[in-house]
Chains A and B, each alone.
Chain A
Amino acid sequence: GQQVMQIPQYQHVQEGEDFTTYCNSSTTLSNIQWYKQRPGGHPVFLIQLVKSGEVKKQKRLTFQFGEAKKNSSLHITATQTTDVGTYFCAGNYGGSQGNLIFGKGTKLSVKP
């Protein structure tokens, strides 16, 4: 079946360092979404990317969608302790909302 692979599984950084998580699909995506889940919490929607090569920024977060619409990345500049949590990408394959497939997530820990 369709799968969305996400790496790395874990990332430990010192506060102030940058962080990147990558998402990859073997087949073309209709769009991709990113979520953040704090420890003990629920996934919270961050952003949706639709267009090939799209780049969107939210303060220190930069989201990219690959030209082939098969991969995506989330980059956080100068991490803070508030960035701690698990970041999930979720790929939509068919345009139908029910086809949203979540990656396994990247768990980010930030050492102050």
Chain B
Amino acid sequence: DAGVIQSPRHEVTEMGQEVTLRCKPISGHNSLFWYRQTMMRGLELLIYFNNNVPIDDSGMPEDRFSAKMPNASFSTLKIQPSEPRDSAVYFCASSLRGGYTFGSGTRLTVV
């Protein structure tokens, strides 16, 4: 199994641009999570899906953030428009029961 696959690994974009992060969970896992990690705030849950349905998006910072899971093997996190304070590492994780398997993350820099 290739694990949770995220793309891109690194993204540098200008303020105001749209950014789309992608995630392919482990086949058979029914829960998918998007986390953001910064030095100041640590690991924050943004949103999670169960069986492709968004269950809790209370962690999504603002309307500029949106996430979709059109099928069991793909999810996106979109930021539009991006701002410098969105700079962070964004992790996708999936799970069936118990522990989460994290992807390698996308390091986003907004300049």
Contact = CB atoms under 8 A, between A and B. Distances in A.
Interface of A: 33, 35, 41-48, 88, 96-98, 100-105
Interface of B: 31, 33, 35, 42-43, 45, 48, 50, 55-56, 91, 93, 95, 98-105
B103 A42 contact: yes
Given A98-B48, A98-B55, A100-B45, A42 B100 contact: no
A11 to B, nearest CB: 17
B22 to A, nearest CB: 16
B37 to A, nearest CB: 9
A96 B58 CA distance: 15
Contact of B105 (A33, A42, A101): A42
A104 B99 contact: no
Given A33-B99, A97-B100, A98-B56, 5 more contacts: A35-B100, A42-B105, A101-B45, A103-B42, A104-B42
Contact of B91 (A43, A47, A96, A103): A43
B56 A88 contact: no
